[in-house]
């Protein structure tokens, strides 16, 4: 069975970012169908201020010969409470997906964005937001089937963390080398 890489590009203002998924599918057409389902699942937990702009689905073994690149024009489906303020986009909800090999979990950090009424304190999201991410994002992704970690191990379970994560702290930084 071929393995595919899915990039979903989103934008809020000038900021653009991708969420990357790996999946097993029978063929490119099946992979594109699953990509559409993943976009719908992400939209279910993302605010209406976030614009979904592009998907790229490509076979891992033949990335430049077997792929589908499509522009999309969709917004997230969650309306923020009026009067509340968004936290900076580096504040994320962290979802851990356990693969079949029982190794290190595959991590997805969601930039929803998080609003001030969705945090209990500076370090934790509300149980309402955590339940929404559990029920509308993590559970449907595992139920979709075929999604795997980058080593090809299928996701079998999930855990949504209650802590607010700082994406800037975990982002890999490239060091500039000067001669």
Predicted confidence (pLDDT) per residue in 69-102, tens digit: 999 999 999 998 888 899 999 999 999 999 998 7
- Span 23-36, pLDDT tens digits: 999 999 999 999 99
pLDDT bin (cut points 50, 70, 90) of residue 167 is low
- The 10 Å Cβ neighbour count of residue 153 is 17
What does pTM read for this prediction? 0.89
Whether 175 shows a pLDDT value over 60: the answer reads no
**pLDDT at res. 179:** 45
Compute the 3-state secondary structure of the chain and give helix, strand, coil in percent, each to the nearest 5. Answer: 25, 40, 35
Q: Quote the mean pLDDT of the chain.
A: 90
Place of tokens 């979903």: 8
User: Do β-strands 15-24 and 106-110 pair in parallel, antiparallel, or remain unpaired?
Assistant: unpaired
């Amino acid at each position: 069975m071929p393995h595919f890489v899915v990039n979903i590009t989103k934008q809020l203002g000038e900021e653009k970012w991708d969420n990357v998924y790996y999946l097993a599918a029978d063929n490119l057409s099946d992979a594109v169908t699953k990509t559409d389902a993943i976009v719908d699942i992400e939209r279910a937990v993302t605010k209406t201020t976030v614009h979904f702009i592009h998907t790229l689905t490509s076979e891992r073994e033949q990335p430049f010969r077997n792929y589908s690149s499509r522009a999309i024009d969709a917004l997230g489906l969650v309306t923020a409470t009026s009067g509340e303020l968004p936290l900076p986009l580096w504040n994320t909800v962290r979802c851990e997906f356990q693969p079949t090999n029982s190794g290190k979990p595959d991590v997805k950090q969601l930039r929803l964005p998080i609003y001030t009424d969705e945090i209990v304190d500076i370090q934790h999201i509300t149980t309402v937001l955590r339940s929404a991410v559990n029920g509308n994002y993590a559970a449907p992704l595992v139920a979709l089937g075929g999604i795997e970690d980058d080593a090809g191990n299928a996701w079998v379970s999930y855990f949504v963390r209650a802590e607010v994560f700082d994406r800037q702290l975990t982002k890999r930084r490239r060091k500039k080398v000067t001669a």
